[in-house]
């Protein structure tokens, strides 16, 4: 029993770290623009398939491929903001949401045309033997996933707390008009938010690539689960997003292990409905903490 429980926890923490990274992308963008990007899952897909092409296909060293994929996907996010979001004459929330849904369909089509309908995989980042803990196996890729996720979250936390640019983004998140009056270029901060948000989506895609089959349509469900994690933890909160991701991943794994695998996708949406009814602001509500 203990062995099974530990194995489910290891699996849940691994998936939770991925959901948390995706949720951070949602929260960062929402904090700066109050926009929910429903195309975010497709940026995760671009990250995964980008790694398949550069590392798995061309044989580029993993660290270089990692960096190139993150920058490349972030540039796509940059272009998305400049060409699709900023050009809107009346940027009311409904119009912007429809644009992101359209972008999701467009990027999925680009993915299908570029990589086809086949599913791809890449090897783990290292070939170390699994660690045995009370009979449960902890894979080396799981350690990589959790480590990379926490590294980037801590890096973002330091960026927002210790740099002038990060503090300017927080100021824009609190009040764009007040930030503009103090000389902060709010449009540039929004552009940077898209750049960082989609870059985090690429990171999630890269770390998930070795443990799942990568295909052009993988981003839809991952994006929805990342959104559920962001809502669960508190949309707009960096650490709340990570917390929501871990909670979702662990509950999902326990549900699959002790009940039925058919519940895997249903758990995320059940938690989303529950949190919207009980505590709409999430576990860490925006009014309880400062943004980020």
pLDDT at position 244 over 80 = yes
The overall average pLDDT reported for the chain is: 86
Q: Where is average pLDDT lowest: 81-90, 112-121, 222-231?
A: 81-90
pLDDT score recorded for residue 288: 44
- Tell me: the pLDDT tens digits for 122-152? 999 888 878 887 777 888 889 999 999 999 9
pLDDT score recorded for residue 203: 95
pLDDT score recorded for residue 292: 52
Residues 6+ apart with CB under 8 A from 109: none
- Please, what sign has the CA dihedral across residues 75, 232, 214, 121? positive
Q: Of 31, 94, 73, nearest to 205 (Cα)?
A: 73
CA atoms within 13 A on the CB side of 200: 32
Residues 6+ apart with CB under 8 A from 49: 111, 114, 115, 120, 205, 214, 215, 216
Which percentage of the chain shows pLDDT scores above 70? 97
**CA 95 remoteness from chain centre:** 23
pLDDT at position 176 over 50 = yes
pLDDT score recorded for residue 183: 82
Looking at the domain covering 2-288, what would its CATH class be? mainly alpha
3-state secondary structure (DSSP) of residue 238? helix
pLDDT at position 287 over 70 = no
- Tell me: the pLDDT tens digits for 104-117? 999 999 999 999 99
The overall pTM is greater than 0.95: no
Stretch 275-292: mean pLDDT: 64
pLDDT at position 65 over 90 = yes
Q: How is residue 272 written in tokens?
A: 């989303």
Instruction: Give 211 or 176, the one with higher predicted confidence.
Output: 211
Q: How is residue 67 written in tokens?
A: 């960096």
Residues 6+ apart with CB under 8 A from 219: 40, 41, 42, 43, 44, 45, 46, 104, 107, 108, 111, 205
Q: How is residue 152 written in tokens?
A: 């980037």
Mind giving me the DSSP string for 234-272?
-TT-HHHHHHHHHHHHHHHHHHHHHT-GGGHHHHHHHHH
Q: CA 127, 131, 135: angle at the middle one, nearest 5?
A: 135
pLDDT score recorded for residue 5: 85
Place of tokens 């940059």: 78
pLDDT score recorded for residue 289: 43
Place of tokens 């849940």: 12
Residues 6+ apart with CB under 8 A from 113: none
């Amino acid at each position: 029993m203990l062995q099974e429980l530990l194995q489910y926890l290891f699996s849940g923490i691994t998936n939770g770290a991925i959901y948390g990274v995706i949720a951070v992308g949602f929260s960062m963008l929402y904090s700066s623009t109050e926009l929910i990007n429903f195309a975010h899952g497709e940026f995760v897909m671009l990250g995964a398939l980008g790694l398949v092409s550069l590392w798995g296909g061309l044989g580029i060293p993993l660290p270089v491929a990692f960096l190139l994929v993150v920058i490349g996907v972030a540039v796509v996010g940059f272009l998305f903001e400049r060409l699709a979001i900023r050009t809107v004459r009346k940027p009311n929330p409904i119009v912007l949401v429809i644009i992101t849904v359209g972008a999701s369909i467009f990027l999925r089509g680009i993915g299908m045309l570029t990589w086809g309908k086949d599913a791809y995989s890449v090897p783990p980042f290292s070939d170390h033997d699994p660690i045995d803990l009370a009979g449960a196996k902890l894979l080396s890729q799981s350690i990589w996933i959790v480590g990379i996720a926490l590294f980037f979250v801590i890096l973002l936390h330091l960026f927002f707390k210790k740099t002038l640019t990060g503090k300017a983004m927080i100021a824009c998140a609190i009040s764009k008009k007040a930030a503009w009056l103090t000389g902060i270029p709010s449009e540039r901060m929004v552009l940077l938010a898209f750049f960082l948000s989609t870059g985090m989506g690429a990171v999630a895609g890269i770390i998930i690539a070795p443990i799942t089959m990568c295909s052009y349509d993988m981003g839809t469900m991952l994006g929805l689960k990342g959104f559920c994690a962001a809502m669960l933890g508190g949309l707009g909160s960096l650490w709340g997003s990570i917390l929501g991701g871990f909670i979702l991943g662990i509950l999902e794994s326990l549900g699959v292990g002790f009940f039925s695998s058919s519940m895997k996708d249903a758990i995320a949406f059940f938690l989303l409905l529950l949190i919207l009814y009980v505590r709409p602001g999430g576990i860490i509500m925006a009014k309880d903490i400062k943004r980020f």
